[in-house]
């Protein structure tokens, strides 16, 4: 769960409020309803949706989601899974009462282990989740990102710490200004790797 949780927190903090829920949703759907982990992710998903709707001046959507998100988080401790649940609860209550407050100041950041987690703070596992989420959200080649993630994991498993795929995935997530260029180069490396693997297939079979 940690990789998905941290990726979603960092994506939210980077301002991708709509995309943040994608980092949590697939993992959330596999959790037993009513468990603390399920309530946390369910509440976070609805929290980011409430912020998204408020920023788009959908006041009724924002207030409804703020109320339901607060309900999901209501019985969790002030800090759960190292996330600042209490600060989120307080903001949700205020947003439900006055959704236009979003126009007077930003929504609070999500913290993890006491700090505002950014995209540059993610480890490889969280970065891999974030890369696929951002590719979908921003319209990049999702298949190339997914393939790069597979190759990066294979390289790491083989002890190749200097893997180009690992480097490109980190750059794709962290370097917003050069993201398009990184995505293009990453796709080119994926295609080269596919050709190399195809050339090797059956090479030693009789």
**Tens of pLDDT, residues 36-45:** 999 999 999 9
Q: What is the pLDDT of residues 21-38, one digit of tens each?
A: 999 987 888 888 999 999
Q: Residue 195 — very low, low, confident or very high, per pLDDT cuts 50/70/90?
A: confident
Q: What is the pLDDT of residues 140-177, one digit of tens each?
A: 999 999 999 999 999 999 988 789 999 999 999 999 99
**CA-CA distance, 45 to 8, in Å (whole number)?**
9
Q: What is the pLDDT of residues 58-104, one digit of tens each?
A: 999 999 999 999 999 999 999 999 999 999 999 999 999 999 999 99
Give Cα separations from 93 to 32, 83, 87, 130 (angstroms): 26, 18, 10, 29
The pLDDT score that the predictor gives to residue 201 is 57
Contact between 50 and 65 (Cβ < 8 Å): yes
What residue ranges of the chain are covered by domains with CATH 1.10.3450.10? 2-118
**CA-CA distance, 12 to 10, in Å (whole number)?**
5
> Helix, strand or coil for residue 143?
helix
Share of the chain above pLDDT 90, in %: 83
Nearest to 168 by CA among 198, 193, 137, 195: 193
Q: Residue 112 pairs with which residues in a beta bridge?
A: 83, 115
The pLDDT score that the predictor gives to residue 164 is 93
Domain 2-118 has CATH 1.10.3450.10: yes
**CA-CA distance, 18 to 98, in Å (whole number)?**
21
- Kindly report the backbone phi and psi dihedral angles of residue 80, in degrees, each rounded to the nearest multiple of 5, phi listed first: -135, 135
Question: What's the mean pLDDT when you consider all of the chain?
Answer: 92
The pLDDT score that the predictor gives to residue 198 is 73
Q: Residue 199 — very low, low, confident or very high, per pLDDT cuts 50/70/90?
A: low
Q: What is the pTM assigned to this prediction?
A: 0.90
Mean pLDDT of 104-119: 93
- The answer, yes or no, to whether residue 200 has pLDDT greater than 80, is no
């Amino acid at each position: 769960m940690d990789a998905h949780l941290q990726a979603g927190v960092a994506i939210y903090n980077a301002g991708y409020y709509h995309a943040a829920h994608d980092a949590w949703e697939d993992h959330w759907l596999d959790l037993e309803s009513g468990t603390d982990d399920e309530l946390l992710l369910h509440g976070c998903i609805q929290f980011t949706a409430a912020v998204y709707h408020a920023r788009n001046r959908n006041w009724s959507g924002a207030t409804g989601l703020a109320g339901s998100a607060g309900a999901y988080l209501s019985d969790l401790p002030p800090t759960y899974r190292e996330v600042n649940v209490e600060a989120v609860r307080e903001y949700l209550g205020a947003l439900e009462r006055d959704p236009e407050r979003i126009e007077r100041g930003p929504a609070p950041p999500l913290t993890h282990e006491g700090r505002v987690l950014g995209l540059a703070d993610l480890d490889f596992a969280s970065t891999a989740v974030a890369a696929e989420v951002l590719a979908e959200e921003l319209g990049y080649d999702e298949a190339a990102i997914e393939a790069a993630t597979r190759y990066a994991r294979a390289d790491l498993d083989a002890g190749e710490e200097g893997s180009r795929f690992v480097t490109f995935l980190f750059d794709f997530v962290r370097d917003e200004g050069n993201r398009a260029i990184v995505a293009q180069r990453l796709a080119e490396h994926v295609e080269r790797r596919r050709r190399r693997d195809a050339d090797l297939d059956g090479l030693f079979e009789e």
